[in-house]
Structures are given as C-alpha cells and as structure tokens.
Structure 1
Amino acid sequence: MAPNHHNNAVTGRTRPTKPKKQQRTQKRKRDDVDVETLEQGVLELDVQGTTYTSFSDLPLSAPTTAGLKSGHFSTLTDIQAKAVPLALKGHDILGAAKTGSGKTLAFLIPVLENLYRAQCVGADAGLGAMIISPTRELAIQIFEVLRKVGGKGHLFAAGLVIGGKGLNEERDALARMNIVVCTPGRILQHLSQTALFNVDNLRMLVLDEADRILDMGFQRDLDAILDYLPADRQTMLFSATQTKKVSDLARLSLKEPEYVAVHESATSATPKTLQQNYVITPLPDKLDTLWSFLQSSKKSKILVFLSSGKQVRFVYESFRHMQPGIPLLHLHGRQKQTARLDITDKFSRAKHSCLFATDVVARGLDFPAVDWVVQVDCPEDADTYIHRVGRTARYERNGRAVLFLDPSEEAGFLGRLEQKRVPVERINVKQNKQKSIRDQMQKMCFEDPQLKYLGQKAFASYVRSLHVQKDKDVFHLEKYDLEGFAASMGLPGAPRIKFLKADPEEQKRRKNASRQVMEDESEGEEVEAGSDVQDDEEVLKAKKKDGVRTKYDRMFERKNQDVFADHYAKMIRDDEAKANGKAADEDEESDAGDDLFAVKRRIPAETGSDSPSSDEEEEEEDAAPTNEAGVDPSAKTVNVPGAKQPLVLDSKRREKLLKSKKKLLKLKDQGKKVVFDEEGQPHQLYELEDEDQFKARGAAEDQRKRFLEEEKERVQKADEADKATAKEKKKAKREKRKERERAEAEDGDEDGAADGPPLEDTRADFANFLNSLGGEEDGDREQESGDEEGPKSKKQKKWFQKDDESDEEAAPGAKRARRDGGDRGGKEIETFDDLEAEAAKLLG
C-alpha cells in the first residue's frame, strides 16, 4: 500500500504555526512541568535526618545544574549541605562558617531556585531578590559567581548597584532587574530617589558579612532600607562571625530563623590548614621588620593589612622608592572604583606580589593562592582578625598568617583571641636577618617634601585610630613610643596631635616658663626694704601656699597699671581739660599740631530734625523769624501724602525735594508689613502666641514630637504623590512611543502592499515630471534676471577677462545679451583658441 501523502500536505484552509511561536509554547509547557517537579522535590526534602553530600542529591533546575557543572562545583561543603535545603524550603537562616567554606553558593543557589520556581522572570515580575554586601569588591565577586552559576540557561535580569557610575544609568536598569547585588549606601539612595524602583514583590533578602552590616557603621542605612522592604520575605544572613543579638534579629523581622553553624563545636574558629603566629615588635621597629620580611619572601604572594588609607599610601610610596624586589600594589577606600577593580584583578592574577590594603579587602574577597597575611597594625577586635587571616588557607589550602604586636598589646589581645578559640604561637625575629631602613626613610623624606607631608598625615591617622579604639584593655595610647615611631618613618619629629594630652608636669612647665624668666631677672636686682616689699612677699607666700588663684587674684597682681599708650594718655588729658573748662584752647593747640583736617565750624544737630543734610540747617540759620511751631509764617507748605507733617518750602533746596521721589520717601512713615489669612483678615508678620494657650496644648516636648510626626507624614505623602506622578508620566510616555511605533509599522505595511502603477501611466508621469522641471528652470531663470532685491551671486572671472569686462557682465542686460550671442555664435568661449577663432570670425 502506497503511503498517503495527502494527509501530510498543507491545504489552502490550514496555515502552519510559526516555528518561534511553537517553540515558545513548548518551552512554556516544559517550564511548567519542571516547576511542578521541583516543587514536589522540595516538599520531599528531609532537612533533619538526611545529610546531603552532592548537588545532584538536591532538586535543582536544569539551568542551575548546568551552571554548577561549568564551574566544576559537584560536592557540597558543610555550610552548603545544611543551609541550602533549609533555604529551598523558605526558612530564614543565620549561617556561620569559617572563611573560605563556600558561603556564597550557600545563598546564591536558593536565590536562583526559589525565583525560578516562582517564575519571577522579566521586567513585569519586578525585583525578586536583594543581596547586600558591605564593600564594593565583595559585591563584584558575588555578582561574578552569580553570572557563572546562573548564566547557563536562567533568564533572570541581574544587576550590580555599587556606585562608581552615574545614578541615571543605574536608575534606568533598576526597573528591569529581578536580582540586584548592591552595597547599603547606594541601594538606599535609589530607594529614596528612584520613582520606578518598586520592591513590593521582593521575595528574598540576603546579607553577606551580616555582622559587619549590622554594626554601628551601617545601622542607620540598614534600618532605612528595611522600612522600604515588605515584611513577608525570606531573610538569610551569612558571615564567618555571626551575630546572635536579639535586638539585631528583631530589627530584621526574622520568622523562626534556623541557626546553621557548622564549625561551632570545632576547637578553632580558623581553618586547620592555617598556620598562625605573632611577633612582639615595638612600634618604632615595625617598618624595619616588614621590610626585612619582604626581602626574605620575594617569591610569595603577600597581603599586608594596615589600619588607615594614609598609612597604606605612605608605606607603598616609600617602599616603592626603595625597590624591595617584589611587585607592590596598594588598595584603600579612597581610590576610584576603576582603580580598585584594576588593582584587585592584578593581584588575583599575580603569582608573586605584595598588596598593602586596609580592611576594605578583609571580608569575603577570594584572592587565589595567597601565601602570607601580614597584620602590621593590631586589629580592633578578634572578629576582624579572623576575617583578615581568612584571605589565605581557603578551600582547605595551606596558608600562613603573622601578626605584629606592640609589647603593650600582647596580653590584652591574646586574651581576646583565646576567647574566640584562635590558636596563635609566638615566634621571634632573627636579629641577623633584620635590616634597618631608618636612614633611607629620613633621606627620602628630606628630599621629597610630598612624601614627608604624607608621612605626617599617616602618623596622625594612625594615632587617631589608636585614640578611637573601644577596647582600652588592649590599646593604651600613653604606652606607645610615638616619638620613636615618627623617627622610624623618617620624620624630623612627632607631629603635634590636637587630641593628645601632654604630660601634666610638662604643661605646667610650659605655662610658667615666662613667669620663671621674670622671677630670675628680678632676683638679680636690689629691692628696697619697706612695707610694700613685705606685702608683696606675703602675697607671694600666700600664693605658693594656697596653690589656687582666682581671676581676681591675677587682676590685683598685675603690674604697670598706670602706664598707658600715648594716644590713651592724650584722651585722658582731653577729658580732664574739658572738665575744667579748658577744652577749647587745648583743642585748638592739639588740632593745629596733630590733626590733618581741622574742623572750623561745628553745628549742633537738633533731635528729631527731618532735614536731609547739614547744608539745609546752614541756610535755615539766616531764615526769617518763625512762629511758635518753628515754621516761617510766610513760607509755603505742601502736604505730602503719607507724611506726618507738611513740607515747608522755605528755601530752594526744599523746593527741589518735590522733584525727588527718593528724598520724599524719607519724609513718609515706614509702613508695617502685614500678612492676610484665608479669610482676608490682616495680621502682623510675627505674632507671638499667648503662653497660656501654648501650655494648654500640652508639654513643649510633646508638641515638638507631634509636629515632627505631622511633618514626616506630610513629607511622605508628598513623596508618594511625586513618585506616583513620575510613574504615570513615564507610563504615558511609554504608551505614546508604542502607539507611534505601531502606527509607523502599519504605514510601512500599507506602502509595501500597494501595487505599482501601469507602465504607460509611469511614462506619462515621467514626461510630465521632465516638463515640470524645465518649466521650473525657465521660471527660476526669469525670476533671477528680474529680481533686483534678492542677493546676486557674482560669477567667477575668467583668466582672460579684465575687471571692466567682469563689471559689464554684471549689468542686468549683459547676461541676456551673452546668452543670445551664445545661441547665435555657437559654443561658449572657454579657452584661448576659442577666443582667437571668435576674433577671426568677427574680423571677416
């Protein structure tokens, strides 16, 4: 039997389905089936009795499995085996594990899987997960791992919001993100300023290095961020040193959190493969010890921690000049984002290098194959120490760490490490291997003023960091040899620090230095005996005996009270002369001898006078007699609107006042400014409320709180209204753009579908088009010849033409005559041969 091909043929009534649409439909059906299967697998997870060892044992989606396979992740670490199943079930988690134990994947896999099962994909789904990191470098590292694991099939829109870019660039992308990796300050700025950034659909919140984010440095930012987020979310906290404070957990609104601490029962809080030592190094010898260490470890990868960015810059610049034989890098928070990324990448790829850094790289960053972690400055607490040394010995690799301690820090800080179960052994520095660089540092600071200035700033920042340390059992500022430390940095002396208190005996000696000099001088002089001397001695004895002197004592002990300056003595002499009636004579003598400009005439100013200048009073002295009111009865008076008294025109100067509005304003009363309420009633600009009425409304503090709450509510409503308005405007703009694109697409389809005209009509239209062009050309030519007002373009002169010929051709009729002649004669004259031929023709 022959096969029936008719059933497989496409008839005219049936239309084949588009391949893309068919594939999309099939993919959607597969996703629905996968989601149902994954949901069933998550429900069947046994988080209590079963211990999972491989990623294949967990119900993970195909894109996540492909991403893990491409990253060569197959076996679960301890923290992943306990945290991932709980997170897949939607529990809130407090995860604590040693550094380098795989905490990043422990929260990234649940984020991808939970959002995949919820189908939180696309711009319409909104933001589904927010991952907050304390530093930019750690956020970048988390984002790279997210791209590696989730970039093999997942369709989520993930973004990195850490600053360093324009706010508008991030603002446009935030509206389309499903997963955002961010730092606290930048995401808070977008939450408060970006109108289209909506977090109402947020499902998961992750805090990496949670103890650092929850401390005082980020407390205010985190509280503000949590106010924007919905309460019904899943929250996960991960860190090497996890917090258990009830106040911190209450702030995060955790719902029955699961505390996952895989190394809590371990004997050490640090990895077993990490060898930890400390060296007792006095503060002036720290730079010498560090230089000697670098000289003996040129084939290693070293990470050196310092307490401040200025110290990092100073040590880097000074060591770079001395060339230790190992590549040097430096990283601190004051650098630009591009420079920080470049330095991080260089140190990650380097085999032998030394990076001077602050605590900005102490948490979470995974630098491959770090051999040594050197802590030149004592960390602020044991948790910071654990995070610093965690940059080496990661993922069960070997690593070594060394800590420089001042003798005053040894007992206190070792006790802190013992409380955290951190084993540290003491080692000694071989004196024959240690080299002093003090002379070289002094030479560099002497030759380079900028390096000297940087050293002074580094010294001040280090002393300030010691001053603000909270643990006073470890850091005793008065026990450090700051003078020797300044000398080891090459500085000529220790810079003066404002907050440092000098020795009380030294302060007293400096205060009494000038007085001691005066007393030493007075001892060599002979003092006459008398009652005055005895009284002075009694006063001095009493002063030494009592020890406490008031300001009145110091006032009565002043000397030379009757010695005045020359100008002050002259003022006293003038006052005495005026009191005795001799002021006029002495004034004339003193003015003639001392003053440059002598006043020949003094006119006493009358109180309440409205005259604008003293010249008017000079003219009024010789005026006609006045009446009881002080007004000349024969003078004219003018009533000025707004003035209290009429203007008396008793001089020409007074008459000129009528022509000046500015001077007439001085005669008018100054009005009082009033404000009108909604009912139109006038009120004074500042009206004080009655005290009884004020007290009737309650206490002042309650009124202040009430006012702040009302203003806060009003501002929030206004902010919501502004955001809603901005959202509506953007939505309307987007709809208009879509309508315009739709209309343009329809017009293009209509033009493409239209049939072309017949061939004969096309030929006729083309002929008409040529005729119209010729008519327009003739019309334009006539218009150019007849238009005298329009601008005339001057024709370029030929090589054989003279100036008078070009002028003649510029005449109105020349162009027409030349055109007529050209028609009769033939071709236009362009070359010298044409000119000779034309001349021969004219000559006959």
Structure 2
Amino acid sequence: MTDIQAQSIPMALKRRDVLGAARTGSGKTLAFLIPMLEALYRAKWGPQDNLGALIMSPTRELAIQIFDVLKSIGRFHPYSAGLVIGGKNVSEEAVRLSRMNILVATPGRLLQHMDETAGFETSNLQILILDEADRILDLGFSKALNAIISHLPKSRQTLLFSATQTDSVKDLARLSLRDPVTITVREEQALNIYTPKNLAQHYLVCPLDKKLDILFSFIRTHLQVKALVFFSACKQVRYIYETFCKLRPGTSLLSLHGNQKQTKRWDEYQRFVSVKHAYLFATDVAARGLDFPAVDWVIQVDCPEDAETYIHRVGRTARYKNKGQGLLFLLPSEEEGMLKALKKKDITPEKIIPRESKTMSIKDKLQIFAFESHELKYLGQKAFINYVKSIYLHKNKEIFKVSELPLKEFAVSLGLPGAPKVKFIKASTSSSKPKPAASTKHVKFDHHSASDGNNSDEDSSLSSDPPEDEDKAVAEPRDDNAEDATPENGNSAAKPTVRTRYDRMFQRKNTDVLSEHYNKLIEHEDDEEDDLLGGGHAPEDFITLKRVDHELPKDLEMDRVILETENMSKRKQRRLDSKKALAKLAPKFAKKMIFDEEGVGHNVHTYEDDENFRKSDVKAAVQKYADVKRKQVQEADAGDKQIAKEKKREKKRKRKDKERAEQDDIQVVLGTERNEDDGYVSPEFDLPSASEDEGPPSKRPKNTEASIPEDSSKRDASWFDADEQLALQLLEGGS
C-alpha cells in the first residue's frame, strides 16, 4: 500500500471520519473505495437496503474514473452500483436509482434526483465520500452541497480526500464531521507534500504576444510525447485548437473543455487515454483527479489562479512512480507574484530560457486564417475578450495586473488586425446623484476589432498608462463600422486616414456567425451560466469548472454583477424583449385553426358550455358521431376494395399479354424451321392423319401453288388433294 492508503484505511475501518491529504497519483481512490466495500460487507448490506454508500466528485470525468475503479475491485461483491452525472437521460437514471447500493455522482445531478425522483431513499446511508473535497467545498458549490447534506442522516461516516485540502472549522461544521482524523502524508525524499518527487518543474518568462509562438515551436520540436496543455478559458481552447489543426504541427491534437457535449467530451477523453503521442488542449476541467496514463509533459500556457490550481495541473504527470515534467508560462508582470505564492507551498520551479533561433512565428498565418474565415476571426475575438476578462476578475492582484498587459500586441499574435476597444475610465463614487452612462461602473468588451489606421494615440486599443484606481476600470466598446470615425476629442475636422480593403474586411460585423458552417465548427456558444442547483434540468455547473466564487472587494463586486448583464449582446437582448412582449399578448389557450374551401377559418374543436352540454342528449350525440364515422369508414373501405379490384384486373391483363407474347415467339420459331427448304424431298413422307386435322394448318412453302383454306370446315378433301397433287408433281419432275 501507499502511505495514504496505509494510514487512512485502518482509521476508516474503525468508522472514524477521515480528512486525507496526499500528493496527486498516490492512490487516494483505493484509500476510500476499499473501506467503503468492507463497511458494506460487514453490515451484510443487501439489495433491499437501498443506498448504502455515496461518492461525490466535482467533474464528470473524475466520476467516471472512480466508477471504473469501483467496477474492477468490486466485481466479487453482490452490490449494485450506479453512475449519475450530467448529460445523461434523467428518466432512465430515475428508473434504476432506487435499486442502487453504491452511487457515484456529481452534486448537481444528485440534488436533482433527490428533489424529483420518487423512491430515491437516503435515510439508511452508511458512508459519504467526497473526492477532491476542497473543490466541492468551494463557495460556488456551497448551496448544492448544503442541500445534499440536509437529505443525509447524521449517523453516517464521512471521508474527504484531496491533494490540497482545507481544515477550516466552518467547512467541517457544515459537513457535520464527528471528531475527524486528519491524515497528511509527507514522503521523506519529496521536497513537499503536494507535488510528486519524480516531477521536474520548469518555468519560462515570455511576453504575452510570444506565447503561441513558443507553444507551437515546442510542439514541433517534441512530436513523440504525450502532453497536457492548460488554458484559462474555453474559447481560448477552441480557437487555438482550430488554428493549430490548420497549421498541421505533425502530431495528434485534441481538445477538452466544459462547453462540449458529453459524448464529445468522453470521446476526446478516451482518445487521449488510448493514444501514445498527442497534445490535449484543456481547461481546468481536466486539472483534478483524472488519471491519464504516461503523460510526459504538463504545459500551463496561462498562469493558474493560485498555487493549489498549479499543484493539481502538474499532478496529471509523474503519477505514482512514473516520471514527468512540468512547464509554466509566466508574463513579466506575473513572475514575482506567482513564484512567491509557489514558495509558500515549498515549490521552486527551475527557470529556463527559450532559444530565439528555435522559435517560429505563426502570427502571419493566423492573420491569413482570420482573413479567410469569419468564424475563426470571431473565435479569436472571443478568445481575446475572455482572456482579458479572466485576468481582470482574478482575486490576486499582485499576480494578475490587467493594466500591464500588451493587449494590442496580443491581438496581433492571435491574427486580429487590432485589439477590441478597451478603455479604462475612473468611476466617480463620491457623488450620490445618478451616474451618467459614460461613468457607470461596469466592464464591457467589444467584439469587433478596431482598425489600426483609424485610431489616434489617445484612442488606442489600451492605454499604456495605468488608471488612477485600477479596480474602477471601465472598458467601453467602440463602433468600428462607421466609414469616418470621429475622434473622441470632438475635432470633427480631423483628416481621415486611408483605409485599405483589408481594413474594411476586418471592420465588418460578423453577421454570419450563426451559419451552418459556424454551428459545425463551434458546438456551443451560450455564455450564460447554468443553474447551480439544477432545478428541473440537467445542471451544467459541474461540467464547466468555474472559478472559485471568492469574495471580491466592494469596488469590484458591482463590476462583476454588471459584467454578467452587460455581456449579453444587443441582438440577444432585443430578441429576449420581443419574446417577452409576444408572451404577454398571446392568448391564454392556444387555438388551432383549419380553413375551408372558401378560406374561412374554424376551430378544430369547439366546446359548449357546461349547462348546454348537460341539457343536450349525450347518447344521441354519441350515436350520431358513431354513425358519421362508420359511414366514413365504409366509404373508405369501398374505395380501397375498388382500388384492389383494379390492381388485380391490371395484373391479370399483364399476365395474359405476357403469355400471348411468349406463344407468338414460339410460333415464329416453329415457322422458321418449316420454311428452311434445301430442295431435297424424301420419297417417303406421311400425310396428316384425321386426328391431326383438329389443330390449325401448318404453313406451306411459298412456292406451293395450292392454297390452304382458312375456314376449318373446308379443310377436308381439298387439303388432301392439294398434297397429293404436289407430291405427284414432285415425283414426275424427279423422274
């Protein structure tokens, strides 16, 4: 057994609550599955006892992985185990749920079944297990977790395991733990308790606009490896995956993020597990608990949110006794703060410097792709916007400094001709009067690129000077579709710059982003957050790993609230308003109309008042309705019979025509044989007998002088006389 297994299994068998913390890949899954099976076996648990053990995980992939391990080690037990995750059929799960003894689930779908599925009983639950407990205990999952805990009995046993864990008194009280045992494993040869000892950790410092160049160069020089590449947003993963596939680096590329459908996510996961060499572009949905075999590199292109996220990302390699390497990309503004945060966890990665001679530039090719495809251009803009948004909303401002980002250069590196208009304005908070629209405190990003030739120095994509109050930054959009944009200083007489056709192309609005090709390219483009509690539908909250909903400063709290409402496009807002207006004007009960030959509309079904209905003769109405329907059926039956007779008659006619044609062919062949005369006549020949006279007369040679009467009544003496005369003439001529 590993250290975490040797220390936690005995305590769990004693029915003690356990808080286990050990590095990734140390065997924590078996550390809680073995005591769970043993506890049910000792309790002589049977199918009639309903649910006995419940295992929760934050992501679907981790839940599937735990379920596979459970099937492999529990196949000799008579227990029934089930997997309940989002993306599956709720009704099919509900049918089998009442017969399950062990359940592996994600919190959102589990809570939905607890609220909606009849017969799902948890009053006899013996053991509750939370894998990656620190993630489940995040504030974003608190409501769902509290609701689930309220359904469970207090006499249960609780096991919590994770690579990084908090022992906050508030969190433990919320889970109602009873005198828990904290187990923290520290290996003697390891530098720290969080990262594997066989992991070689490196980092490099590069500008924001050089990240993709270095990443593509790394892939081209490391083709025979299996690597995980982490980004901060789903739209970044989509854009980089699509563009890198067009660049054809020479190895397999895969993508995994929360906006994919469940079947697509599972296919990509299985492909990466089975292949030997590939690169998987992923978000933090793949950062926790997943056991990918033989991963050589973990590359973090975007800086992780905190040290805990870094630990979970690099934990996908160097699992158990295997070796692995990790590479972290840091911006010059992120280096000091991130290294300081990692040092608190006793993590000291080694700095490396990439070779300039080995670095390939791909920004020109990306710009060509954006020029040729509106869809890729739109994806690049969304990737840009979401990256800036994620940096702005990160809690640790010592690491993430949005004002120091070279956004214009970053947009060029993505293939865009210019960065979406982002402007920082200081919002006034001293006045109690309503704020004007220009100074309203919000963050909004433009989806359209600004032309380089149309921007003055003051009107550039991002001011290089930091604002006086960074937390009060405002990003305003700019309309780049006007032919002659007026500078912000109000000087309408400013001389417009020359705009080429390339500038015009990049300034066009993406009106075709919802085309058929775009829908094939991008599976999901709905940016709205899903319901956390999963009320009435399968919640997607645990498909997409959201950022920890930490407490923002007061100045940023309003920014975040307004950001969620302002992120909706004007087109979507108008469509939503029109739907609401139509819903108010719509009738209470929908009516279906039919139109007669004159074009007058009538309701399909008419209803009488209750009093008039009771006064009328119901039996007579029923009999009348039955008579009408019976007559209709009889008419339809008669028509069907007539059609069947015509078909039968036509079939008989065709059969007779076919037989007649075959008979004619036979007669023609026989006649041809009789007409073949080589001039020789046998002296001995038979005359036709009386029995042979019944059939039609045979054809005679053309050179005969005798004629054959057509009337059968005359075919007696004249027929024989003609033959005799012919025979005599032939004999005389031969003699």
Query: Counterpart of 1:370 in 2: which secondary structure?
Result: coil
Query: Counterpart of 2:408 in 1: which secondary structure?
Result: helix
The residue number in structure 2 matching 1:240 is 163
1:656-695 aligned within 5 A: none
Q: Does 1:125 align with 2:52?
A: no
Could you give the per-residue CA deviations for residues 446-503 of structure 1, whole angstroms, max 9, x where no partner exists?
Answer: 1111111110011111111111101111100001111111000000111135447866
Shift in Å, 1:511: 10
Could you give the per-residue CA deviations for residues 533-557 of structure 1, whole angstroms, max 9, x where no partner exists?
Answer: xxxxxxxxxxxxxxxxxxxxxxxxx
Find the partner of 1:108 among 19, 33, 36: 33
Structure 2 residue runs of 5 or longer lacking an equivalent are 423-442, 446-461, 469-473, 477-484, 496-640, 655-694, 696-711, 713-735
The residue number in structure 1 matching 2:332 is 407
Find the partner of 2:115 among 192, 206, 213: 192
Q: Does 1:486 align with 2:411?
A: yes
Find the partner of 2:68 among 140, 144, 164: 144
Structure 1 residue runs of 5 or longer lacking an equivalent are 1-75, 521-790, 801-832, 834-839
Instruction: Tell me the distance in 2 between the aligned counterparts of 1:517 and 1:146.
Output: 72
Shift in Å, 1:340: 1.1
Find the partner of 1:385 among 300, 310, 314: 310
Instruction: Tell me the distance in 1 between the aligned counterparts of 2:345 and 2:360.
Output: 35
Instruction: Tell me the distance in 1 between the aligned counterparts of 2:316 and 2:102.
Output: 27
Instruction: Tell me the distance in 2 between the aligned counterparts of 1:515 and 1:389.
Output: 53
Instruction: Tell me the distance in 1 between the aligned counterparts of 2:243 and 2:493.
Output: 48
Query: Counterpart of 1:445 in 2: which secondary structure?
Result: helix
Q: Does 1:178 align with 2:97?
A: no
Shift in Å, 1:339: 1.2
Shift in Å, 1:444: 1.0
Question: 1:305·1:356 contact (CA, 8 Å) conserved in 2?
Answer: yes
Shift in Å, 1:281: 1.0
| Higher RCO (Cα < 8 Å, 6 or more apart) | 2
Q: Does 1:369 align with 2:294?
A: yes
The residue number in structure 2 matching 1:160 is 83
Shift in Å, 1:507: 11
Letter of the aligned partner of 2:57 in structure 1?
Answer: S
1:17-56 aligned within 5 A: none
The residue number in structure 2 matching 1:448 is 373
Structure 1 residues 426 and 515 mapped into 2: Cα distance closer, same or farther (>3 Å)?
A: closer
Could you give the per-residue CA deviations for residues 152-184 of structure 1, whole angstroms, max 9, x where no partner exists?
Answer: x20101000002111100001110000000001
Instruction: Tell me the distance in 2 between the aligned counterparts of 1:518 and 1:405.
Output: 45
Shift in Å, 1:136: 0.2
Instruction: Tell me the distance in 2 between the aligned counterparts of 1:121 and 1:468.
Output: 50
Query: Counterpart of 1:324 in 2: which secondary structure?
Result: coil
Q: Which has the higher helix share?
A: 1
Shift in Å, 1:343: 0.9
Shift in Å, 1:338: 1.2
Question: 1:408·1:475 contact (CA, 8 Å) conserved in 2?
Answer: yes
Matched pairs, number? 459
Letter of the aligned partner of 1:244 in structure 2?
Answer: D
Structure 1 residues 272 and 514 mapped into 2: Cα distance closer, same or farther (>3 Å)?
A: closer
Letter of the aligned partner of 2:128 in structure 1?
Answer: L
Structure 1 residues 281 and 229 mapped into 2: Cα distance closer, same or farther (>3 Å)?
A: same
Instruction: Tell me the distance in 2 between the aligned counterparts of 1:466 and 1:263.
Output: 34
Q: Does 1:303 align with 2:228?
A: yes
1:142-541 aligned within 5 A: 142-151=66-75, 153-263=76-186, 267-268=191-192, 269-497=194-422, 498-499=443-444, 513=488, 515-516=490-491
Structure 1 residues 451 and 516 mapped into 2: Cα distance closer, same or farther (>3 Å)?
A: closer
Could you give the per-residue CA deviations for residues 513-568 of structure 1, whole angstroms, max 9, x where no partner exists?
Answer: 56555899xxxxxxxxxxxxxxxxxxxxxxxxxxxxxxxxxxxxxxxxxxxxxxxx
Shift in Å, 1:512: 8.6
Could you give the per-residue CA deviations for residues 363-388 of structure 1, whole angstroms, max 9, x where no partner exists?
Answer: 00000000000000000000000000
Query: Counterpart of 2:41 in 1: which secondary structure?
Result: helix
Structure 1 residues 248 and 432 mapped into 2: Cα distance closer, same or farther (>3 Å)?
A: same
Shift in Å, 1:423: 2.1
Letter of the aligned partner of 1:458 in structure 2?
Answer: A
Structure 1 residues 512 and 335 mapped into 2: Cα distance closer, same or farther (>3 Å)?
A: closer
Instruction: Tell me the distance in 2 between the aligned counterparts of 1:366 and 1:157.
Output: 24
Structure 1 residues 499 and 126 mapped into 2: Cα distance closer, same or farther (>3 Å)?
A: same
Could you give the per-residue CA deviations for residues 222-277 of structure 1, whole angstroms, max 9, x where no partner exists?
Answer: 01111111111000000000111111000000000000101288632311100000
Shift in Å, 1:125: 0.5
Shift in Å, 1:296: 0.9
Shift in Å, 1:401: 0.2
Query: Counterpart of 2:139 in 1: which secondary structure?
Result: coil
Instruction: Tell me the distance in 2 between the aligned counterparts of 1:172 and 1:344.
Output: 28
Instruction: Tell me the distance in 2 between the aligned counterparts of 1:120 and 1:255.
Output: 23
Question: 2:300·2:328 contact (CA, 8 Å) conserved in 1?
Answer: yes
Shift in Å, 1:121: 1.9
Question: 2:255·2:281 contact (CA, 8 Å) conserved in 1?
Answer: yes
Letter of the aligned partner of 1:126 in structure 2?
Answer: N
Structure 1 residues 247 and 440 mapped into 2: Cα distance closer, same or farther (>3 Å)?
A: same
1:6-25 aligned within 5 A: none
Letter of the aligned partner of 1:304 in structure 2?
Answer: V
Letter of the aligned partner of 1:206 in structure 2?
Answer: I
Instruction: Tell me the distance in 2 between the aligned counterparts of 1:112 and 1:282.
Output: 52
Question: 1:188·1:221 contact (CA, 8 Å) conserved in 2?
Answer: yes
Instruction: Tell me the distance in 2 between the aligned counterparts of 1:378 and 1:256.
Output: 38
Question: 2:339·2:348 contact (CA, 8 Å) conserved in 1?
Answer: no
Question: 2:220·2:250 contact (CA, 8 Å) conserved in 1?
Answer: yes
Taking structure 2 as the reference length, the TM-score comes to 0.59
Structure 1 residues 424 and 364 mapped into 2: Cα distance closer, same or farther (>3 Å)?
A: same
Identity %: 55
Could you give the per-residue CA deviations for residues 285-338 of structure 1, whole angstroms, max 9, x where no partner exists?
Answer: 000010111011001001100001110011110000000001000000111111
Question: 2:487·2:494 contact (CA, 8 Å) conserved in 1?
Answer: no
Question: 1:332·1:357 contact (CA, 8 Å) conserved in 2?
Answer: yes
Please say which structure displays the higher CA radius of gyration: 1
Question: 1:121·1:157 contact (CA, 8 Å) conserved in 2?
Answer: no
Taking structure 1 as the reference length, the TM-score comes to 0.52
